[in-house]
Amino acid sequence: GSMEARGSPPRTAPARPQLQGQRTSPLRARPALTGVKVDRWGFPVATTRYPAHSQDWNSNHHLTGSENEIKPTRLRQYFSAPESEDTLKRTLSESRRRSAKSLLRALDGPTAQPPKRPFVTADVGAPLVPERHVVGGSMKDRDGKGRTWNERWHTGISLLNDRCHPDHRAYFTQKSLFEESPSQNWRRFLDQEVDRGVWTPIATRRKPRFPPLGGRLTGRSGAPVPSP
């Protein structure tokens, strides 16, 4: 196109007609930005907003002067203040939750006997799931026999890798030479306790559906691997 003459006003894009009944792009609207408030020194001042529950919130909850991690569960301090039994019943009666009715029936029912305090711990409460601390389980193994939970599932010859030669260590893809060695049977890494003092081999007659990758080490560092 031809060049504009000097002194002539710059050209402006023609205004687009506004179509009624059609939505315009939100990117064309200017964002609703508010000015930043500054103090007399020119530093920005943040606006403090208080929540609706600020009346019941203890703003000094962190100034307890105690360490909860070294206290038993029932003696720790929490954010919410405990309610009395009458206040709790009134709150549950006004609640629309489905569990409110069952909680009310539990409060109106007979008082449950507190659990006995275990003699082997200094905590004030008994474990919530006592079955976790005893030998048990009813799952089936590869042979279809009942198998209890192996409490030593995380143990293995890999715990001694730092004391073994690199060719004799246990890896994710290769087993260790000492895993089946008779000199290490006393560690019972290949057995599990099915009852107090009763041990049985972990291995089954049927092979695992997903066996570990790799096999016995064959001298990856150049040193010969002795036979077990």
* pLDDT per position as a tens digit, 31-69: 777 777 888 888 888 777 776 665 667 777 777 677 888
CA 223 to chain CA centroid, Å, is 43
pLDDT, residue 224, reads 46
Would the pLDDT of 150 be above 70?
Answer: yes
Is 160 a residue whose pLDDT tops 70?
yes
Residues 98-130: tens digit of each pLDDT = 888 888 888 888 876 666 666 666 665 666 666
Greater confidence, 222 or 136?
136
Burial classification of residue 158, based on how many CB atoms lie within 10 Å of its CB (0-12 exposed, 13-18 middle, 19 or more buried): middle
* CA dist., res. 103 & res. 97, Å (int): 10
Per the model's pLDDT, the better-predicted residue between 20 and 119 turns out to be 119
> Among 140-144, 151-155, 172-176, which stretch is predicted with the lowest mean pLDDT?
172-176
Cα distances from 227 to residues 119, 162, 167, 171, 213, in angstroms, run: 49, 20, 12, 18, 21
Rounded distance, CA 217 to CA 155, Å?
20
Which of the given ranges, 26-30, 67-71, 155-159, 220-224, has the highest pLDDT on average? 155-159
Residues 6+ apart with CB under 8 A from 26: none
Residue 223 has pLDDT above 60, yes or no: no
